[in-house]
Structure 1
Amino acid sequence: MSTVVVLIGVLVAPAASAFTVDAIEIRGTGRIEKGTVRNYLPVEVGDELGAAAARRAIHSLYDTGFFRDVRLLRENGTLVVEVVEKPVVTEITFEGLEQLKEEQVRKAFKSFGLEDRKMFSRSALRRATLELERQYNAQGYYAVQVNAETKSAGEDGVRIAFKIQEGEPAKIAQIEIVGNQRFSDELLKDQFSLTDSAAFAFLSGKDQYARQRLMGDLESLRSYYMDRGHLNFQIDSSQVQLSPNRQHVFVTINITEGDKYRVKGLSFTGNTVVPEEELWPLVPMEEGELFSRSQVQKSVEAVSRRIGDEGFAFANVTPVPDVDEEANTVELAFRVSPGRRVTVRRIRIEGNSRTQDRVIRREFRQMESARYQTSKIQRSKERINRLGYFEGVNLETPSVPGSDQAVDLNLSVKERPTGQFSVGVGYSDVEGLLFTSSIKQNNLFGSGQRLSLQADVGGVNQTFNLSLTEPYFTVDGISLGADVYYTQRDTDRLTLFRYSQDRAGLAGRLGFPLSEYWRDSLRLAFEQTDTKSGTLELGSQEEEFLGRQDHILLRNTLTYDSRDSTIFPRDGWKNILRTEVALPGGDTRYFNLGAESHVYFPVFSASTITLGLQVGRLEGYNGQAVPFYERFYLGGARSVRGFETYSLGPEDADGDPVGGVTKLQGNTEFIFPIPGAQTARGIRGAVFADTGWVYGDDESITSDKLRASMGIGFRWFSPMGPLRFDYAWPVVTKPGDELQRFQFTIGTQI
């Protein structure tokens, strides 16, 4: 009969109980291979095993985290290792998790070993619970309660359910800045995203404490001082105290302002590659000015880009200050180390599962096997972004292995849906009830072609349009497009004199790139109109355009577009010069000349100021007048808000607008994120100011006829189309003006 001894029980036995291991047997394993247990067991066949060695062996197996019980037994000369495996986590669920992203929480848990199909560990569960609380605390949720419940799932599994009561975020009761003498508390707090006093702060969440936002505010405070000469500014400490009920936070920031320093001298050292005369215009600083860290950084970036255009991809421009503490001056030397000149060996593209490579490559301004140029690489990235096909565009320039004179361009993109099908019902103050449907594909079969089929049925206009565009008909970027369209128009809903018209047309388009930002396009259209008078009597000038008429229209459009985005522009210009002429061969003879300019200024973190100006002129030739249905009209949601649609301009004897031949229009808008909806890019608020007027044939162009308004608005690029609400206060009016303070449009653009 074999002898069985439980070695745990003999750890304190005499040394005589030690024995030589003739064999090793593993028992109790299920998911874990026996070989894995042998690998962790610090005992081999032939070893002499005593109490101390047994203790070490048991500890080694426990330390793996695989087992909840380990026993060593002796059966004659055989060492028997009995183990009980820990259960496996079969499921992790969350209840009440709203303020944090679940994928980020799971990623943090994974670092503790707590994830699906891994061994369950009580210590890992405790660490995960504390980590979840820490993440909430970092967002200002100090009253959060996290309970982790475990339930058995079969014999070898465990389900974990985290039940969370988030509570309310702690509000900032006070922000105190200690040590400031040159600037007031109010001025410095204006630089913060957090606040303790702003009106309606609860709407934007600015009074909710979060550590990351505080760190950003401290950096904003540092930048504010260092951009105003305080070279030695320091934040000595920042203390955050929590109220006993964990609902309020008190922030104290201790600073040392230091003296103001002025720039005594500027210079370049090292190998500047290009003549210094080309670099000085890139430095927005002058001697005698207050030192500004942001201006120094702009100088470094601009000089680096210029040197990068010479092929030096790894140029290093380092500002070296020489500070005179007694005179409070600083001499700034920009030390230039160009590094090695490189070429671009290869351009690689990944992430484009639908978009063809050639569609992306043709937007590159940096070519393969050509000298590296920073500005061309940056412009390439901008052009690819402007396509609108991708949610994310990332461009890297790794060195080529084994070569110090070449780099690769690795472009990774994340595609977004470029097709859209929509059917919707909308309403506008012009059209009334509006039915709209459209099929659009801006990247047809991944080729970059644009196809659009749209139908809009409203109270004034019923429009059907089919459009196809090939943006790269030639490799040089000449575009080719065609349009087929049909419109029915009935002005009974409008304040202008009544008429109805059917218009059908076929048009061809050619576009020509003139430079990186300039483009010219030609459009030749063949149209037929059938116009009928309404209930009001028309004059002889209007009657000659009734009935069926044919038109041959040639339009030339010259465009300058440097906007950073075509969907949500925040920076750049868009200027348009448009000329259209009704050619001989048709029944009308007139010119339509127009120009418009829009400039975008980024302000704050996600806001934009837009300035727009539009002018237009209509003129007949060969003794013919301008068709009345082509005249300019102003007033309404898309021109001068606060006034009745199409109401601004000359009127007939009955007081109905008849349109004009000269148009002046100006629009200014401040677009900003809606408080509480900063992450939704399609939602914006607006503050605006409009002015404009339309002049008749015999009217002189004077500013005293201009009307003006100011107001607030709401913008939403909704799934069924743009939505706009505007409330305007007319500020320049005259007796008889038809006002309309509230105007909105849903589902179409007027």
Structure 2
Amino acid sequence: MKKHTLSQLLCVLLVTSLTTVAGAQSTKRKKATAPKKSATATTAMSDSAAASSMTIKAIEITGNKKIEKDAILAKITSKVGATYSAAAVREDVEAIFKLGFFNNIEVDRQVSGREATLTYKVLEKPSITEIIYEGNSEVKADDIADASGIKAYQLLNMTKVKEAVEKIQKLYEDKGFFLAKVEAEVRDVTKDETVQLVFKVRENDKVKVKQITILGNKHLSDDELKSKMLTKEGGFFSAMSGSGQYKQEMFERDVQILRFLYYNKGYVQAKVDRPQVTVTPDKKTIYITLRVEEGEQYDVGEVDFAGDILFPRQELYEAIKIDDNGVFAYDVLQKDISELTAKYGDLGYAYANVIPRTAFNAKERKVNLIFEFDKGSKVYFGKINVVGNSKTRDKVVRRELKVVEGELYNETRRRQSLENIQRLGFFEEVNFKTSVDPERNDVMNIDIAVKERNTGQIQLGAGYGTSNGFTLQGSVNQSNFLGKGQNLGASLNMSGNSSYYSLSFTEPYFQDTLWSVGGDVYQSANTARNDYDEEHRGGAIRFGHPIAEYTRGYLRYKYDDTKLGAKSFTENNTTYSTDQDLFPLATANGVTSSITGILEYDTRNDRQMPTKGMLASGSYEYAGVGGDLKFTRINANYRFYRNLFWDVTWRNNLQYSRIDSLEGQDVPFNELYLLGGPYSLRGYRSYHVGKMKRSKQLYDRLINQGLSPAEADERSMRFYGGTQQAMFQTELQFPLVKEAGIMGAVFFDAGAADDVLTDQNYYMDTGFGVRWYSPIGVLRFEWGFPLNRDTIYHDATVFEFSIGPSF
């Protein structure tokens, strides 16, 4: 039986009883005085036969102010000219109620002869003129409004208000306020027309997980199990890391994670019961108890294949790893299924199904496994569409594809296509959504669904040194310029006595070919080195072309005009000038004209924020194509990224460079290598690690000031630079507050810059930092601690703020 509101039942009773009541009243009136016959007089029909023979003369709607009359008439079945029916009127009332716009509906029937005029009197729901949030201090009103789904100037719908209360409650639970209470109150502004909707929130304190107790585990320790759980016990750094929060949804996932962990260790019959949660009387902390039944550990038994076998058994055995694993591990099984599915997919069987049939041998504690193949039918690629790209042009995505429309399905090339698009770094998410063509069952259509990210990147660095004063470094880079996949960048470096400006542009697919073309122009005046003034003006053009999978070759021509000049600088309240015996400026002035060959191998999953893969590159520069300054330079760089578990990423950077003389010329001293700074050795100031030489001029001045020869010798050393440099950086990056994009990092750096690299001239540092992946880039706050510093030239602690990834 359908449920109706009280007002609906009253309306139905009103309609069905109208005939009887009106008839009774008419009878009484007849006894008093006989009514006059009139065409417009209201007459009640007392018998149902008479009522059913009446014709509807007119239908009126009254009381509606916001809802159009035609919208209401479209929902009723009674029509002008049709025979009147009480049942139809009841259905009309129900249909109008279902619109959701009315609190009450009444029906009035005016009868004249055998004709009836029906009037539907409606009482509209009031409009919400204002939505007010009271009691919220930890959650912003805008976030609550987004979660509720209710907007001002909508009609009041109590069902939606109830749903909104539940959504707000869920929002608070997700933020750790598990005991928050939300109520809704409706306040009249103009009776029956407008109201205020008030959400009253009692946030209470965040519920903290005080202790997680695991019972029944013998083979896996508490620490091992807890380390994999999303729910963590509260600790000293809970406010910063977000640990200790209790979220029902997250904890339910933890139960599945623990089961999966046991399955991966061979405990295929392990059970994890539903947790017991105990809330303390003050409702601020909870204790969680988990009971585990581990069972016995099972090894892999016999492995075989069945069904539609299209490959030699030996080839299938070579594709799987579970038979070599010893312990029956669920994650290895899933990887094997993926590999076997891919082999069939490469033959065009896109819907091949690999079913693992398991049989448990409890006596020997082994799992016998049969991979059963159902190859299905061959499939061809159909239409390939790109969706979600409001900025990036379709061709930028399509040119990364390894598959084309109409060809036989190939799983490996489909995966490579997905990886290539992700590697661009233009998108937060990339998904291939497949569907069967409605006209052909053997055709698969693909929608490449992308979610664009902000491809503009700003890098800033600020610092203060005794020699350079305040320094500001920055760059603006747009890696998807105009949505064409082009790279446009500009950078600057400014301090009290230096500046650097550059502009670069790269077209990765010149004229829709595989050739990349780019160029740079730059100008600099006064570098961060204090011993001389240095100006550069120049530019470069670059050409690139793929050589093999993930490998590209580049050729670059560079023109640089260098001008060095003497300068004055102050140290220890004493003014000095350039020591031209140490820094012979004339030997480094002139034009450098060079050609550089570069080879690059890149398998990173994301060029902007990689979490796995590697980047290896090598280059050779020949500065002897005309010009005044002659030298050769080699560079080698290797970067490696690996996601260890969850969101913890291990990042590594290894670099080596060397510069040598050419045609009998000495290497220009301003081209020599020095290390230090936020993108180098992070425990040392910029250009404060490397080969040093004594300035005789400075030595004599210090002697004249009364310093001893030994002390003057120590303080007269200048950072000169070496012909070689080697550097290694490694760091672990992990989430602190994942929802806010705040990450932590610990790092270790080691490097040397000298003519000959030995154990004695390597400098090392360690440190930690906090990084915020903000809309303008990665904000880095890092503290570095040198491990073998020179107390005269190196600080005990170096703090650096910068924007942009370390490497």
Please confirm whether the aligned pair reaches a TM-score higher than 0.5, indicating the same fold.
yes
1-side partners of 2:145 and 2:540: how far apart? 56
Indicate how the Cα distance of structure 1 residues 448 and 71 shifts in structure 2: closer, same or farther if over 3 A, else same. Answer: closer
Check if 1:521 corresponds to 2:557.
no
What residue identity is the alignment partner of 1:710? T
What's 2:700 paired with? none
State which of 343, 355, 377 in structure 2 corresponds to 1:306.
Answer: 343
Q: Is the contact between residue 147 and residue 171 of structure 2 (CA under 8 Å) also seen in structure 1?
A: no
Indicate how the Cα distance of structure 1 residues 104 and 337 shifts in structure 2: closer, same or farther if over 3 A, else same. Answer: farther
What's 2:704 paired with? none
Indicate how the Cα distance of structure 1 residues 499 and 150 shifts in structure 2: closer, same or farther if over 3 A, else same. Answer: same
Q: Is the contact between residue 26 and residue 34 of structure 1 (CA under 8 Å) also seen in structure 2?
A: no
What's 2:509 paired with? 472
| CA offset digits 1:378-417 (Å, max 9, x no partner) | 2222322333333443322212222232212212334445
State which of 631, 656, 671 in structure 2 corresponds to 1:630.
Answer: 671
Indicate how the Cα distance of structure 1 residues 627 and 362 shifts in structure 2: closer, same or farther if over 3 A, else same. Answer: same
What's 2:401 paired with? 364
CA drift of 1:291 comes to 1.3
Q: TM-score, normalised by structure 2?
A: 0.81
Q: Is the contact between residue 468 and residue 528 of structure 2 (CA under 8 Å) also seen in structure 1?
A: no
For structure 1, which runs of at least 5 residues remain unmatched after alignment? none
Q: Is the contact between residue 8 and residue 71 of structure 1 (CA under 8 Å) also seen in structure 2?
A: no
2-side partners of 1:73 and 1:313: how far apart? 65
| CA offset digits 1:470-489 (Å, max 9, x no partner) | 11115442111111111112
Q: TM-score, normalised by structure 1?
A: 0.87
CA drift of 1:201 comes to 2.7
Q: Is the contact between residue 644 and residue 740 of structure 1 (CA under 8 Å) also seen in structure 2?
A: no
Indicate how the Cα distance of structure 1 residues 90 and 736 shifts in structure 2: closer, same or farther if over 3 A, else same. Answer: closer
What residue identity is the alignment partner of 2:579? E
CA drift of 1:569 comes to 0.9
Check if 1:269 corresponds to 2:306.
yes
Indicate how the Cα distance of structure 1 residues 532 and 367 shifts in structure 2: closer, same or farther if over 3 A, else same. Answer: same
1:82-101 equivalent positions in 2, closer than 5 A: 82-91=120-129, 93-95=131-133
1:350-499 equivalent positions in 2, closer than 5 A: 350-418=387-455, 426-427=462-463, 429=465, 432-434=469-471, 440-459=477-496, 461-491=498-528, 493=530, 498-499=531-532
Q: 1:314 aligns to what SS in structure 2?
A: coil
What's 2:770 paired with? 714
Q: Is the contact between residue 531 and residue 546 of structure 1 (CA under 8 Å) also seen in structure 2?
A: no
What residue identity is the alignment partner of 2:543? L
Indicate how the Cα distance of structure 1 residues 275 and 23 shifts in structure 2: closer, same or farther if over 3 A, else same. Answer: same
CA drift of 1:506 comes to 2.2
Check if 1:28 corresponds to 2:62.
yes
Check if 1:659 corresponds to 2:696.
no
2-side partners of 1:295 and 1:749: how far apart? 34
What residue identity is the alignment partner of 1:691? A
1:165-314 equivalent positions in 2, closer than 5 A: 165-287=202-324, 289-314=326-351
2-side partners of 1:250 and 1:692: how far apart? 49
Indicate how the Cα distance of structure 1 residues 369 and 585 shifts in structure 2: closer, same or farther if over 3 A, else same. Answer: same
Q: 1:570 aligns to what SS in structure 2?
A: coil
CA drift of 1:643 comes to 3.2
What's 2:7 paired with? none
What's 2:104 paired with? 69
2-side partners of 1:383 and 1:667: how far apart? 27
1-side partners of 2:761 and 2:588: how far apart? 34
Does 442-451 or 57-66 show the bigger shift? Answer: 57-66
What's 2:156 paired with? 120
State which of 371, 375, 378 in structure 2 corresponds to 1:338.
Answer: 375
Does 661-670 or 448-457 show the bigger shift? Answer: 448-457
For structure 2, which runs of at least 5 residues remain unmatched after alignment? 1-12, 25-44, 568-576, 695-715
What residue identity is the alignment partner of 2:553? D
What's 1:730 paired with? 786
1:571-650 equivalent positions in 2, closer than 5 A: 571-650=612-691
What residue identity is the alignment partner of 1:573? M
What residue identity is the alignment partner of 1:742? V
What's 1:129 paired with? 165
| CA offset digits 1:472-527 (Å, max 9, x no partner) | 1154421111111111124554xxxx122111112111112112311111111111
State which of 733, 736, 739 in structure 2 corresponds to 1:679.
Answer: 739
CA drift of 1:744 comes to 1.0
2-side partners of 1:102 and 1:318: how far apart? 50
Check if 1:532 corresponds to 2:532.
no
Indicate how the Cα distance of structure 1 residues 154 and 520 shifts in structure 2: closer, same or farther if over 3 A, else same. Answer: farther
Q: 1:312 aligns to what SS in structure 2?
A: coil
Indicate how the Cα distance of structure 1 residues 530 and 89 shifts in structure 2: closer, same or farther if over 3 A, else same. Answer: same
| CA offset digits 1:57-89 (Å, max 9, x no partner) | 877766765543344445446374543323243
CA drift of 1:428 comes to 5.2
CA drift of 1:231 comes to 0.3
Indicate how the Cα distance of structure 1 residues 274 and 102 shifts in structure 2: closer, same or farther if over 3 A, else same. Answer: farther
Q: 1:318 aligns to what SS in structure 2?
A: strand
Check if 1:693 corresponds to 2:693.
no
What residue identity is the alignment partner of 1:28? T
What residue identity is the alignment partner of 2:193? D
Does 307-316 or 593-602 show the bigger shift? Answer: 307-316
Considering only CA atoms, is the larger Rg found in Structure 1 or Structure 2?
Answer: 2
CA drift of 1:647 comes to 3.1
Indicate how the Cα distance of structure 1 residues 40 and 251 shifts in structure 2: closer, same or farther if over 3 A, else same. Answer: farther
CA drift of 1:529 comes to 0.9
Q: Is the contact between residue 274 and residue 307 of structure 1 (CA under 8 Å) also seen in structure 2?
A: no
What's 1:567 paired with? 608
Does 176-185 or 653-662 show the bigger shift? Answer: 176-185
2-side partners of 1:65 and 1:611: how far apart? 61
1-side partners of 2:724 and 2:147: how far apart? 64
1-side partners of 2:479 and 2:390: how far apart? 16
